């Protein structure tokens, strides 16, 4: 049984020194000892639970840097970015998607994530023409996860309409669209694909948003989920709130909580346009708020009320969404800084017993694991060995340990540079800060980028 020795480790009850983790053949932590007796297969100065990246659209990584010029509209917004995204995705083939996803997954692992919840909505060929295999694109995501070793929760997206008025999908949206019956077949085929992946891979469902699915289609997707995770965009934009309110007679969060038994299996993405009563109500359901602070800033979504949400014992995790910048520690810093700018204070999300970095990291680790339906997020017996090892003798950490080390990782600007190793369900996928397949994956990615060109 492989053994991992850490001089400092963050366990559920706090920091411990001189810890040995025994990793079973099933990729879970089988035993935790104090003190090394004999040989260790690996030894690291510091070990943390590695979070799940709880929200990703992998293909959008190839768009990074291509949408920062203002168009003819006097004010560029999420909605103009969205039109550019539709144009871009209309050029992607299955081979492109697999190569892009593999590059994204390598970057995630090197950033300290052990797994990803892939919000997968690119199902069909150009013009909405179905592939012979309904899970063609889903299989490419699974193949990329297999190639890179990342843990995967695959979330096939149900997307049935262009807006709350039921208008048909147009242009690039047609590559997303499925009716409820076709989605059931896609979900079944995706389950077969996931089964052929890593044994820790999971399947959920993702009704895209209250704009993109009807109430009856949403109910069908929830029923299809079984005991798996349910992810959905919620209250991301003011225009979305206005459209849903006019069509359904209630604001998005209000309508969802009033019409569905939202609980711990649910993850509501963004939720940047909630009012205080909705923030409190969502927190009390036990659902996870899926926050993507870097993308939310890039798209001008707004600021999630993390202060009010955590005050009501809300649970959250972070993801990289558009993958314009994949950086675990910087997502956490961006979340804290958004609260500081809004409230004009410091250490807003710190608690009386935990520093800001400690509270952000531990909450994100446990919340993202819950959202992905993954037994991880803590270093404890029975949990998946999703672990991130760090060196403490670098110029960036200068030997710091405990909460001061976490604060430095989150706010010091060089957290990623301190990562030495990452394990995903016991798979040692990053060593000396580098993924074993980095060069091979990057070579395929660069070929795809050359093929796609630089304009959309």
Active-site residues, by number, are 270, 321
SS (H, E, C) 254-276: HHHHHHCCCCCCEEEEECCCCCH
SS (H, E, C) 195-231: HCCCCCCEECEEECCCCCCCHHHHHHHHHHCCCCCEE
Burial of 146 (0-12, 13-18, 19+ CB in 10 A): middle
Strand 151-158 to 206-207 pairing: parallel
* Cα–Cα distance, 38 to 341 (Å, whole number): 51
Report how far Cα 393 is from the mean position of its chain's Cα atoms: 30
Q: Which helix (H) or strand (E) holds 239?
A: helix 238-248
Question: 317 and 287 in contact (C-beta within 8 Å)?
Answer: no
CA atoms within 13 A on the CB side of 273: 18
> Phi-psi category of 286—alpha, beta or left, where left has phi over 0 and alpha has psi -120 to 50?
left
Sign of the Cα pseudo-torsion (236, 239, 240, 246, in order): positive
CA distances in angstroms from 322 to 82, 250, 445, listed in the order given = 11, 28, 17
Q: What are phi and psi of 126, to 5 degrees?
A: -55, 140
Q: How many helices (H) and strands (E) in the chain? A: 14, 17
Angle at 139 (CA atoms; ends 439, 383), nearest 5 degrees: 75
């Amino acid at each position: 049984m492989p053994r991992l020795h850490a001089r400092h480790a963050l366990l559920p009850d706090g920091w411990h020194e001189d810890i040995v983790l025994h990793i079973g053949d099933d990729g879970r932590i089988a035993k935790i000892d104090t003190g090394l007796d004999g040989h260790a297969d690996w030894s690291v100065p510091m070990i943390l639970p590695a979070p799940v990246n709880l929200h990703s659209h992998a293909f959008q990584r190839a768009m990074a840097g291509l949408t920062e010029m203002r168009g003819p509209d006097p004010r560029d917004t999420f909605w103009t970015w969205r039109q550019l995204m539709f144009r871009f995705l209309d050029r992607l083939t299955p081979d492109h998607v697999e190569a892009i996803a593999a590059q994204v997954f390598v970057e995630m692992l090197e950033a300290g994530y052990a797994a990803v919840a892939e919000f997968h909505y690119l199902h069909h060929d150009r013009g909405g023409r179905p592939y012979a295999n309904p899970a063609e694109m889903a299989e490419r995501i699974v193949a990329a996860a297999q190639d890179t070793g990342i843990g995967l929760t695959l979330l096939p997206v149900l997307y049935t309409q262009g807006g709350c008025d039921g208008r048909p999908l147009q242009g690039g949206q047609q590559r997303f669209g499925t009716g409820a019956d076709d989605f059931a077949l896609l979900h079944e085929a995706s389950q077969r694909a996931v089964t052929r992946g890593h044994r820790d891979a999971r399947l959920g469902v993702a009704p895209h948003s209250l704009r993109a699915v009807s109430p009856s289609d949403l109910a069908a997707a929830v029923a299809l989920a079984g005991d798996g995770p349910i992810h959905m965009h919620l209250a991301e934009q003011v225009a979305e709130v206005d459209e849903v309110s006019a069509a359904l007679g209630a604001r998005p969060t209000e309508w969802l909580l009033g019409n569905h038994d939202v609980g711990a299996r649910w993850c509501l993405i963004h939720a940047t346009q909630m009012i205080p009563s909705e923030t409190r109500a969502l927190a009390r359901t036990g659902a996870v708020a899926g926050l993507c602070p870097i993308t939310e800033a890039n798209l001008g979504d707004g600021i999630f009320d993390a202060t009010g949400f955590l005050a009501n014992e809300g649970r959250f995790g972070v993801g990289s969404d558009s993958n314009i910048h994949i950086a675990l520690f910087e997502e956490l810093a961006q979340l804290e800084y958004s609260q500081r700018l809004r409230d004009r204070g410091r250490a807003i999300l710190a608690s009386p017993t935990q520093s800001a970095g400690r509270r952000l990291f531990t909450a994100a680790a446990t919340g993202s694991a819950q959202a992905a339906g993954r037994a991880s997020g803590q270093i404890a017996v029975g949990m998946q060995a999703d672990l991130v090892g760090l060196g403490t003798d670098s110029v960036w950490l200068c030997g710091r340990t405990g909460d001061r080390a976490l604060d430095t990782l989150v706010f010091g600007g060089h957290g990623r540079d301190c990562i030495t190793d990452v394990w995903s369900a016991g798979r040692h996928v990053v060593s000396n800060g580098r993924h074993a397949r980095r060069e091979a994956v990057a070579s395929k990615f660069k070929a795809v980028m050359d093929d796609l060109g630089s304009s959309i």
